[in-house]
Amino acid sequence: MTVALYTDLSLYYDLMCADINYQQQSDCVRRLHHFFGNQGRQHIDLACGTGPHIKCFIDYGFQCKGLDINQPMLDIAEQRCPQATFTLGNMTEFKVDEPVDLISCFLYSLHYCADLEALENCIKCVYAALKPGGIFCFNAVDKHAIDNNKVEHHHAVHENSDFTFTSAWNYVGQGDKQSLLLSIEKTSQTEQHRWQDQHPMVAVSFTQLQAILNPYFELHIFEHEYDRLIPWDTVSGNAIFVCIKS
């Protein structure tokens, strides 16, 4: 049986992401905030999903909020992080009651903006939500570096079922649209299920991304290495962006 994945993804999201080192990613952003930020402790995680990054920041002593467009994800996040506040909403049109010190967006989730216009709206919302000296950290992929033939696989066993997770970027080679292709196969002794989906995303070059960010922020770009901070070599197609509000 094959059904649309999106409404069911929350049930298997943590299992699908079991190989992700949330602690390492969060610690990298914490260090970047220490080096470049205002040392404040008010934090928002955009596209927070089920909240594993927020859990890390709570442990660091931050007061955290999470924003996501999927309520089932937020239900799990609230159970994981009862100290945090979670809001159902779109990162392209969010507002805050009080500005914060740090905004993060992990796992390439900034690309969930539908197109360049939505991406620019998101950046404007982030800028408005930050205190002076606050920073915005996210990772991104240059559309010219996307390899449509590269597929990530992850296997897991859970509750007597075998799971196979696959994901891949797909970019047609022009324009500002790309897709994230996802599928889950669940096999047990008595049944087999398959979920699949195609998430629309924005395709953007790093040149375009810098042009969008520069009017708002002091910008620093690093290689996509969470265990060490290395300035971007201007060639690689994956990078960590640090945006400082002056």
- The predicted model gives 61-81 an average pLDDT of 96
- DSSP structure string for 182-221: EEEEEE-SS-EEEEEEEEEEE---HHHHHHHHTTT-EEEE
Task: Decide if 8 is inside a domain.
Answer: no
Same domain for 65 and 166? no
Task: Decide if 7 is inside a domain.
Answer: no
Q: Is 151 helix (H, G, I), strand (E, B) or coil?
A: coil
Same domain for 195 and 74? no
Between 54 and 5, name the one with better pLDDT.
54
Which candidate, 119, 219, 236, 237, places its Cα nearest to that of 176? 119
- The predicted model gives 118-131 an average pLDDT of 98
CATH number for 124: 3.40.50.150
Same domain for 108 and 195? no
Structure confidence at residue 217 (pLDDT)? 98
The tens digit of pLDDT for each residue in 203-224 reads: 999 999 999 999 999 999 999 9
Same domain for 118 and 215? yes
Q: Is 36 helix (H, G, I), strand (E, B) or coil?
A: helix
Structure confidence at residue 10 (pLDDT)? 82
Distance CA 68, CA 84 (A): 13
Same domain for 127 and 219? yes
Same domain for 46 and 168? no
For 67, the domain range is: 20-143+203-244
Same domain for 71 and 185? no
pLDDT class of 2 with cuts at 50, 70, 90: very low
User: Number of folded domains in the chain?
Assistant: 2
Among candidate residues 167, 183, 201, the one where a domain is terminated: 201
Same domain for 151 and 189? yes
- The mean of the pLDDT values for the chain is 94
Residue 3 has pLDDT above 80, yes or no: no
Structure confidence at residue 8 (pLDDT)? 58
CATH number for 178: 2.20.130
The pTM for the full model equals 0.94
